Amino acid sequence: MLKKIIFQFLALSLIFTYSAQSAESGGMPQLNPEFWISQIFWLVLTFGLLFIILSKFILPKISNNLETRKSQILENIETADKQREETEKKVKEFDKIINDTKVEAKNFFNSERQKVLDDINNKRLSLEKDIEKEIIKAEEEIDQLKKTSQEKITKIAIETSSDLVKQLIGEDINKSSLSAIVEDLSKKEMEKHNGI
C-alpha cells in the first residue's frame, strides 16, 4: 500500500517536473545577443582595471616581498655560517689554550718536583755530612775523654789514696811513690779490664 503511494508520488512528480521544464524552453540565454555589448564593455573595464591595479601596485609588492625574504634568508644563512665558523675557530682556540695550559702545568709540576727532589737530596747530603762530622767529632771527643779520664782517674786515685793513707796512718807519704804504686795498680786493673 505504502509502496504504491510512493511510486505514484514519484511518477507524478517526474511528470510535473518534466512538464514544468518543457513548458518554458527558451534555449540558451548565452546566445541571446541582447547584452553582449554590455558584457564585453564590463569585461574589458573590470578586467582591464584588475590587470592594471595588479600589475602596477600589487604584484610588484608581492615579488618584492618574496625577493626580500629570499635575500634575507640567504643573508641569515651566510651570517649563520660565518658565526659557526667563528665558533669553530673559538672552540679550537679554546682547546689549544687548554692543551697549552695542561702542558705548562705538567712542565711546571715536573720542574717543581725536580727542584723539590734536588733540594731534599742536597739537604739530606749536607745533613749526612753534618752528621758524619758530628760523629767524627764525638768520636774524637770520646777518645780524648777516654785518655783524659784515665789520667784524671789516676790523679783522683792518687789523691784519694794519699788522703786515705793520711787518715789511716796520720802522716804524709811521698806523693811520687804513691802515684807510682797507683799507676802500676791501675795499669794492671786496666789491663785486666781491657785484656779480657
Give the residues lining the site for other proteins (CB under 8 A). Answer: 6, 9-10, 13-14, 16-17, 20-21, 24-32, 34-44, 46-47, 49-51, 53-55, 57-59, 61-63, 65-66, 68-69, 72
Write down the least CB distance from residue 79 to other proteins, Å: 15
Sign, CA torsion 158/161/163/166: negative
Measured from the CB atom, is 27 or 170 closer to other proteins? 27
Measured from the CB atom, is 38 or 177 closer to other proteins? 38
Measured from the CB atom, is 52 or 138 closer to other proteins? 52
Write down the least CB distance from residue 70 to other proteins, Å: 11
Write down the least CB distance from residue 45 to other proteins, Å: 8
Measured from the CB atom, is 62 or 173 closer to other proteins? 62
Write down the least CB distance from residue 87 to other proteins, Å: 25
